[in-house]
Amino acid sequence: MRTYTADEEWPRHDKKHWRDAFEHAQAVGWFLDHIDAAHRFGTLRCPYGCHNVKVDHTAVGGDMFAASLPNKIRACQKANGLDPTSIKLAEATRLMDTAEALIDRIEEGLTSVWSKQCATEELDRICLQIETADTTLQDEVLARAIAAEDSATEVEDLQQWSDEAESHADEAEGVLKKVSRQTVTRPLRGRLDGLRDRLANVCKQLDALDGNGTTPL
C-alpha cells in the first residue's frame, strides 16, 4: 500500500465517477491509500482522521458511493469547524479551477487542430500541382487522410472537454447561489463571467470546426 497526499498525482481509476470524486477529494486535502488489489482500489481519508471512503474497482453501486463523497466532505469540514460560507466558496473555487483547466486544454487543442487544417489546405494545393505524378499524388492523398482522421479525433476530445467545463461552471454557479451573503461571492462571480466568455469563444471555434472546417479569422 502507498499513501498519496493531495499534492501528488494520484493513480488513475478506470471509472469516471471515481476520477471525479478523486479530483474533489484532492482539492480539499484528502489522502488516498492506494492498494490496487483484485477488487479493492484503495481508501480515501480526510485530513482530520475521522472520515474514510473505501474505493473498489468495479463493485456494484460504486457510482453512488462516489457521488456521495461531496456530501461527506462537507459534513467533515463542518464537523471540524469550517463555516458553511467558507465551504461553499471553496467548492465553487474548486469547480472553476477545474473548468478553467479544461478550457486551457481546449484552447491548446484548437491551436493544434487549426494548424493541422492549415496543413491540409496546403496539401490540397500541392495535390493540384502534382496531378501528373501518380505515385507522389497517392502518397500525398494518404497523408491527407491520416491528418484528417487525427483532427477528427482531437475535435471529439475538445468537444467532450467543453461539455465538462460547462458542467463545472454551471455547478459552480449553483453553489454560489446558495451562499447567503452574496457580497462575498462577487470576486468569484466575476471570475465565473470571464470563464463563461472563454468557454463561449472556444465553443464558437469548435462549431466552426464541426461545420465547414474553415480556419476562423
pTM for this predicted structure:
0.50
SS3 track for 70-128: HHHHHHHHHHCCCCHHHHHHHHHHHHHHHHHHHHHHHHHHHHHHHHHHHHHHHHHHHHH
Q: Please give the C-alpha separations between residue 63 and each of 20, 74, 109, 159, in angstroms, as whole numbers.
A: 10, 18, 30, 24
- Domain 84-211 superfamily per CATH: STAT transcription factor, all-alpha domain (1.20.1050.20)
* 69 has pLDDT over 80: yes
| 165-210: pLDDT as tens digits | 888 888 888 888 887 777 888 888 888 888 889 888 888 888 887 6
- Residue 78 clears pLDDT 80, i.e. is over it: no
- Could you give the percent of the chain with pLDDT greater than 90? 10
- In the chain, residues under CATH classification 1.20.1050.20 are 84-211
pLDDT of residue 211: 61
Query: What is the torsional sign of CA 70, 25, 163, 95?
Result: positive
What per-residue confidence (pLDDT) applies to 203? 86
pLDDT beyond 70 at 70: yes
Per-residue pLDDT at 140: 47
Cell of 141: 492523398
Q: Which amino acid is at 142?
A: L
Whether the Cβ atoms of residue 125 and residue 174 lie closer than 8 Å to each other = no
Q: What is the pLDDT of residues 114-168, one digit of tens each?
A: 776 666 665 555 555 544 444 444 454 445 545 555 555 577 888 888 888 888 8
Name the 3-class secondary structure at 22: helix
Q: How far apart are CA 215 and CA 8, in angstroms?
A: 39
Residues 141 and 176: their CA atoms lie apart, in Å, by 52
**pLDDT for res 121:** 64
Q: What is the mean pLDDT of the chain?
A: 77
**pLDDT at residue number 135:** 46
